[in-house]
Chains A and B, each alone.
Chain A
Amino acid sequence: MTTLAAPPVRVVAPSTDTGGRSGRVTWMAVPALLMFLAFAVVPLLGVLALSFTTWDGLGAVHPSGLTSWRAVLADPGLFHTIGVTFLIMGLSWVFQTPLSLLIGVFLAGHQRYREFLAVLYFIPLLLSSAAIAITFKALLDPNFGIGAGLGLPILAQDWLGDSKLAVGVVVFVVSWQFIPFHSLIYQGGVRQIPASLYEAAQIDGAGRFRQFLSITLPQLKYTIITSSTLMVVGSLTFFDLIFILTSGGPADATSVLALDMYQRGFQASLMGPASVIAVILVLTGLVLALLLRRLGGGSGDDSQLEGA
């Protein structure tokens, strides 16, 4: 779960000051501030600084100007990697959003059996990406895996050996892992929709399908944006899963930015170029988060319940 990206934050000024004397409480914020500065803010500035250096990960760090940037930007592999990153991002959004939404709406009902279903649904959320990747790697074996088990030859493909299939597998496993999480978000969103809206619609003679289109979907606007932001920005951080499942292969078909960074830095000992990739990763995440926030109409301070 550390790989989950930040939620689109409602930046709320601490306006409900409870009247304490600032001198006596200020120190309480200091430990958290120091920890955060030391291991998050300083590294963030550090990664930018390191992108202008040469370092093998062991010896001394040498300033080297734009060498690393030139090397990375001149590498055609970079654009392939960025392409793969966006491909996996886009496909996993397209696959996860409708499913999470429908499952979330379904789970929002209070029937007992649905609660029972929910208990089982959320199991993937508890597993480590390492455990999930290892399980699917074995399960997708063309000869001794799921295809043989269900007796369906169509499932007995060389899933991780074919470029196109491998991308599909990554998208599927990502969805397997995160659809429960997004369903949970949608379930919460649906339960916040006032029942009065549905009652009014029923009086007007709208059927369930109509209600879904005219009430549920518009009311979930902010939930959809939240969930999409998490999916999109979070997809930039897929590392463990892809690292164990495919190591970026076959032939770089699933090599995303985070993995590329690890391989350049910690396997090829080129920390300078790896830092360049990291900077690109940060910038991409920021731009995407800002774009999605704009899509949400900027201020999230308004009530999420339109027309209620």
Chain B
Amino acid sequence: MATMTTVVPTQHKTAAPQRRRSRNLNWLGGSLSWLWLFVVMLPVYWIVITSFKQQSNYYVQNPLAPPSEATLSNYRLVIESDFARYFVNSVIVTIGAVLPAVLISFMAAYAIIRAGRRSRFLRLTNSLFLMGLAIPLQAVIIPVYLIIIRLQMYDTLLAIILPSIAFSIPLSVLVLSNFIRDVPRELFESMRMDGATEWGTLWHLAFPLTRPALVTVTIYNGLGIWNGFLLPLILTQSADQRTMPLALWDFQGQYGVNVPAVAASVVLTTLPILILYAIGRRQLLSGLTAGFSK
């Protein structure tokens, strides 16, 4: 900001002041962006180099200097602390929640678009889902906890999966119905002429045509559930049922002073997502803003 106000006046009376100002604005946006890149990357860089440091060296070396003697012992400690099990738990929870959530949301979106005009029931269902977008998970966690206890599901992975499915539905239905609405009416009509059932039309017409949206909501929900902390914190207790974010927190509680080991746990739990990001960046990014631009 300061540079803008100082540079502009000195060159004020020269030719084409506007173009000069525009260059300054570009310069401002550009330098801000590089600065923010630094702010974003510094913690990432720090956590990675720290994870390879020896604990004995950690307090001696400059925190931002690369490890003088790189070691994998921190990773060994993390892996020996049962992180493979937590990883499997996270995979089970994520897949177990996302696939059913996307499937039933897709079916609901299809029904709402196909017959919502004539069916009061479907219209009400749709309004309920839209209203549901405004319900924060935090606010209903106490009754969810009560329900899970009464269902005898406390401290199981299913306890995390069921509410995760429910809270994925509203946005998924919104995004998917926006896409199914774009399928030309004539195509539905010709499917009907060919004698296809609604179930067949769902799979053979709507499914292929809305595949990008399905991928999008799958990624969006998957990331949210993979990184979810509140549900596992409240609804599970034993180490057997721990998912990765909770394990990370627990590990930090146990090994807090061993910063390199904590760093290794952070890197290790984040790695699967980073690998996926490297593979499917475009889908992932469009998935993240699902429903906000359409």
Contact = CB atoms under 8 A, between A and B. Distances in A.
A214 interface: no
Given A26-B115, A47-B142, A106 B167 contact: no
A203 interface: no
Interface in B33-64: 33-34, 36-37, 39-44, 46-47, 50, 58-59, 62-64
B123 A14 contact: yes
A25 B144 contact: no
Interface centre among A14, A107, A129 (most CB of B within 10 A): A14
B239 interface: no
A89 interface: no
Interface stretch (B68-76, B182-190, B209-217): B182-190
A173 to B, nearest CB: 9
A266 interface: yes
A43 B143 contact: yes
B37 A146 contact: no
B37 A135 contact: no
A243 B248 CA distance: 13
What's the dominant secondary structure at chain B's contact region? helix
Given A7-B291, A9-B174, A289-B134, A207 B18 contact: yes
Given A39-B165, A149-B62, A265 B289 contact: no
A44 interface: yes
Q: What's the interface size class on A, roughly?
A: 35 or more
A281 interface: yes
Contact of B21 (A117, A125, A179, A208): A208
A35 B162 contact: yes
A145 interface: yes
Interface string A134-171: 11111100001110111000000000000000000000
Contacts of B224: 1-2, 4
B139 A240 contact: no
Given A11-B130, A20-B188, A47-B140, A106 B62 contact: no
A117 B234 CA distance: 38
A121 B36 contact: yes
* Contact-residue size bin, chain B (C-beta under 8 Å from the other chain): 35 or more
Contacts of B291: 7
B85 interface: no
Interface in A209-223: 209-212
Contact of A274 (B142, B171, B226, B285): B142
Interface in A1-35: 1-7, 9, 11-22, 24-29, 31-33, 35
A181 interface: yes
A247 to B, nearest CB: 11
Interface of A: 1-7, 9, 11-22, 24-29, 31-33, 35-36, 38-44, 46-47, 50, 55, 57, 61, 99, 102-103, 105-107, 114, 117-131, 134-139, 144-146, 148-150, 176, 179-181, 184-185, 188-189, 192, 205-212, 226, 230, 233, 236-237, 239-240, 243-244, 258, 261-262, 265-266, 271, 274-275, 278-279, 281-282, 285-286, 289
